[in-house]
Amino acid sequence: MKILHLYPKQNDMIASHVSILTEGMRHSAEVQTADSYTLFKARFLEMQPDVVHFHGCTAINKAVSTAYKHKTRIVISPHGQLEPWMLKSSYGKTDLLLRRSVERAYAIITFGKMERQYLEQLGWNSRIEVIHNAIITNSISPEEMVSQTFAVYQKITDSNVLEQMSDNSKRLMAIIIKAGITGDRRWITEDIIQDEADWRRILIYADHQNIRNYVDYGINILGLNADWIDTSKIASYFPAKYQRPKPIKEVVGDYKGDETDYLVRMIRQIQKAPLLLHLIELHRELRRDTVDDDRLTDALQEKHLLTYAGRLMQVLQEQTLLDEGFMPIDPIDDRGTRQIRNLMANHLKI
């Protein structure tokens, strides 16, 4: 993990706090510091950090904007500078740019319950952690402060992992999903490249999408040398409205003997909220011998779902490697298809 701290050079107490964090993480991460925007930007572009930790709230907006544009994860420790009297005396009226900076952070680290309560009342960011500052209290040791802070960094990098996943890992995941759906390696015709596979992110993403059973089975079918990780014990941040995906039959009801009716119900539900789990289940259903392509096409046309279903075929081809022979209609790749991709990509976006 690569971490970059930005702090105000004129504040000795903040500088001491950053020094403890920096020295304490030397053996577990690549850590650098900056005490000005000029130095921050140079080191940011050089090291391309995974996490940027901003200390204090004075003159951070430009640096936060730089990190945000590069999709770098942001942490802010206000050091008391977001408490009501500080907001009034330091910024006059509410600083809209500062509010945007705070909203963009993956996490806000406060030093006590009172500071946390002020931030909760402020309402700019709900992802608030409390880690006492060893510089000003004996209730925590420097080592404990370092350990708890690093745990927040890890939680941040373990969130919305699809955004950080390489194209090779995404492609490998699609192959694994297809193997998990078919249960037969002979259906896999794509080259399998796992030399640089990011197994931690693949498995975390599978857990958050509730498809870990398909991914674990696919890995086993393909005989891949993957690290086993108990992702249920890994902490992550989620969007405010995130709900763990449920099997589609729990949403649309069980199969009732009419394959066409069941497929239409599945596609209608996916149109409301496209989830990878439901696409996988649709892929499985489309492989059944009981699918009547002509009857399904007519039913989709009647329900005004034909075009959307064509877009789904394209996304299924990309994300689950559905073969054309199992597509009841031709795939469509247009603006609507891109919207489906974006909705799925942003499902776990903070």
Measured distance CA(306)–CA(135) in Å, rounded: 63
Q: Are strands 107-110 and 30-34 parallel, antiparallel or unpaired?
A: unpaired
Q: Are 344 and 276 in contact (CB under 8 A)?
A: yes
Average pLDDT along the chain, 350 residues, taken 10 residues at a time: 95 96 96 96 97 93 96 96 72 72 96 94 95 95 97 97 94 96 92 80 97 97 91 95 95 93 97 97 96 97 97 98 96 98 95
Burial class of 32 by CB neighbour count within 10 A (0 to 12, 13 to 18, 19+): middle
Measured distance CA(95)–CA(60) in Å, rounded: 12
pLDDT of residue 94: 52
- CA angle (205 as vertex; 102, 337 as ends), nearest 5: 85
Tokens of 158: 């373990």
pLDDT of residue 248: 97
Q: Where are the domains of the chain?
A: 2-157, 161-237, 244-350
- Architecture field, domain 2-157: 3-Layer(aba) Sandwich (3.40)
Measured distance CA(269)–CA(234) in Å, rounded: 30
pLDDT of residue 88: 63
Tokens of 331: 């795939």
Q: Are strands 51-55 and 73-77 parallel, antiparallel or unpaired?
A: parallel
CB atoms within 10 A of CB 276: 23
The enclosing H or E element of 148 equals helix 142-157
- CA angle (79 as vertex; 78, 82 as ends), nearest 5: 50
Supply the DSSP string of 169-233, one letter for each residue: HHHHHHHHHHHHHH--GGG--S----TT--HHHHHHHHHHTT-HHHHHHHHHHHT--PPP--GGG
DSSP 96: H
pLDDT of residue 96: 83
Q: Which of 125, 131, 86 is nearest to 113 (CA)?
A: 131
Spell 117-130 as b/e; 16+ CB within 10 A means b: ebbeebebbebbbe
Report the residue count for the chain: 350
3-class SS at 284? helix
